[in-house]
Amino acid sequence: MATDRTDEPVAKRLGELVLTSSHVAEFLHDLAVEAATELSTTGQQVSCSITVVRRKKSATAASSDGRARAMDEVQYAFNDGPCLSAIRLATTIHVPDLHNESRWPEYLEAVNEGTLKSILAVPVPVDNDARAALNLYSDGKDAFPADSVASAERFAREASQSLRLALRIAQLTDARDDLAAAMASRTTIDLAAGAIMGQNRCTQETAMAILKSASSTRNIKLRDVAARVIASVAPDDTVSTHFDS
């Protein structure tokens, strides 16, 4: 089912997508476009979306076109559908004719009036903290025969390593950003405590107690209370945290 547009292995192309994408959302979009191109034929064009569910994060989705995006949004609205079932059950979900399908009744009622006829959802193996699926949509009935299902499952396996790498990079980037934010917050609080110590000639412990009391009494985050203290004593309340990136 793959096209002849290039002799370059899919896994290599997907690896290059990871390196050229600035963030995971961009990679997922490029991956969806790549899948739609790879799994379409001259007589059968498919739309594609990629859905990723990570622990403690909202689901991330990207699509090759508006149709795939619209179909995914319907699933998310009902929290049910082929894609979500593929993720939850870790198995391929094949819908050869949507109008003769009985699973996901609310989802079906919302989409059966359109031109969409066939759906194929294939889980993509990723790390234990994440789950993902490749979702293919077609306006033709029986658009995904056995060889097409095999091609989609093969693509999902080939995409697995690149997706794992992209998610790992995203995880490290999030951890770096969280650390930077925590350090900046700590710097603001320490500066405010220092200002209180100078004004009240008290210990650091007492200064921190004053900050925490103000935070609790006013129901304001400790960092925001600290920022107000700094603003009250400094003509420039911009606080910078200096460390090697």
The DSSP secondary structure of the chain, one letter per residue, reads ---SS--S-HHHHHHHHHHH-SSHHHHHHHHHHHHHHHH-BTTB--EEEEEEEETTS--EEEESSHHHHHHHHHHHHHT-SHHHHHHHHTS-EEES-GGG--SSHHHHHHHTTSS--EEEEEEE---TTEEEEEEEEESSTT---HHHHHHHHHHHHHHHHHHHHHHHHHHHHHHHHHHHHHHHHHHHHHHHHHHHHHHHT--HHHHHHHHHHHHHHHT--HHHHHHHHHHHH-S----------
Give the CA distances from residue 68 to residues 9, 110, 135, 158, 233, in Å, rounded to whole numbers and listed in that order.
25, 14, 8, 21, 55
pLDDT of residue 245: 47
**pLDDT value at residue 34:** 87
CB under 8 Å to 200, separation ≥6 — which residues?
206, 207, 210
**Which residues are CB-neighbours of 18 under 8 A, at least 6 positions away?**
27, 162, 165, 166, 169
Residue type, 44: Q
Residues present in the chain in total: 245
Residue 138 β-bridge partners: 118
Q: How much is the pLDDT for 10?
A: 67
CB distance 103 to 75 below 8 Å: no
Q: What is the mean pLDDT of each run of 10 residues along the chain (245 residues)?
A: 51 64 76 89 87 74 88 88 92 93 89 81 85 92 92 90 73 60 78 88 89 87 86 67 50
For β-strands 60-63 and 118-124, DSSP reports them as unpaired
What residue has token string 């969806």?
32
Q: How far apart are CA 15 and CA 158, in angstroms?
A: 10
Q: What is the pLDDT of residue 6?
A: 47
- Residue 192: what pLDDT? 87
Distances (CA, A) of 59 to 9, 52, 142, 243: 29, 6, 29, 33
